[in-house]
Amino acid sequence: MGFGNQKSNALINSPEALAQFINSRASHVTQTSLYGYLKTRAGTRFPELFKNPDILTSINIAKWNIWLACVSDLCIFTGLLMHQSGRVKPAEIDLLMPTILDRILLETKISPEAIETMRTTEENARQRVTTCDWTLEYDYDSIFSQSPEALYYWSPIADELKTRDEEIVRNSVRFRWIEVRRSVREKLDIESIFQTEASQNLATSAEIN
């Protein structure tokens, strides 16, 4: 999991580019929010966390579950933005966004120790993306609901400390989505994405026939 090219000005103009964008931004939000929280709580002992195998395993499990929650949130936001543009039908978004989620999961090498714990997170993400009603109005707290919950739940911090930190922890993730939302609006080339998707589907159909 890496930060990706956060300063790239390239348009999101294909399904591949959309998957890459969502993956990179989800990774960035995950790492900055999780590691930021751990560093705040551990202080000068922060580097030592990564020398303890048990703690490192817990961090990796937390990281991947938070990442998938971030992917889920950003998939929902992007799909809703597509509908709000008025350029595509909800049924087209229904077909596209689950394939974007699948592409991200297939192309991402997840740490072995996290795979088993992610089953429920993955089921929730798939159900959320496949059943979303793109025609409804949602506020940002509803759209970006899974990532704050995941950071709070999965962070390997003592429960009594997390309880005290809850509002700050959740808001830290919400704050990090502000720039991402701005970036999606600036870069999203909806027509090109769906034109490329249609061309790829036609090519696949021709190969099968």
Residue 138: left (phi > 0), alpha (psi -120 to 50), or beta?
A: beta
To 10 degrees, what angle do helices 90-107 and 15-42 make? 60
In a domain? residue 4: no
CB atoms within 10 A of CB 186: 10
Q: How far apart are CA 117 and CA 59, in angstroms?
A: 13
In a domain? residue 9: no
In a domain? residue 84: yes
The residue among 93, 99, 95 whose CA lies nearest residue 77 is 93
Tokens of 115: 């795979």
In a domain? residue 149: yes
Taking only the tens place, the pLDDT of each residue in 159-195 is 999 999 999 999 999 999 999 999 999 999 999 999 9
In a domain? residue 170: yes
**Residues 106-114, mean pLDDT to the nearest whole number:** 95
CA Rg value for the chain: 18
CB atoms within 10 A of CB 36: 15
- Position 6 confidence tier, pLDDT thresholds 50, 70, 90: very low
In a domain? residue 117: yes
- Position 5 confidence tier, pLDDT thresholds 50, 70, 90: very low
So what's the pLDDT on residue 207? Answer: 56
Domain count, the chain: 1
In a domain? residue 172: yes
Tokens of 155: 């962070």
* Residue span of the structural domain in which 73 resides: 15-203
Taking only the tens place, the pLDDT of each residue in 135-145 is 999 999 999 99
Q: How far apart are CA 92 and CA 31, in angstroms?
A: 32
Q: How far apart are CA 63 and CA 114, in angstroms?
A: 9
Exposed, middle or buried by CB within 10 Å (0-12, 13-18, 19+), for 205? Answer: exposed
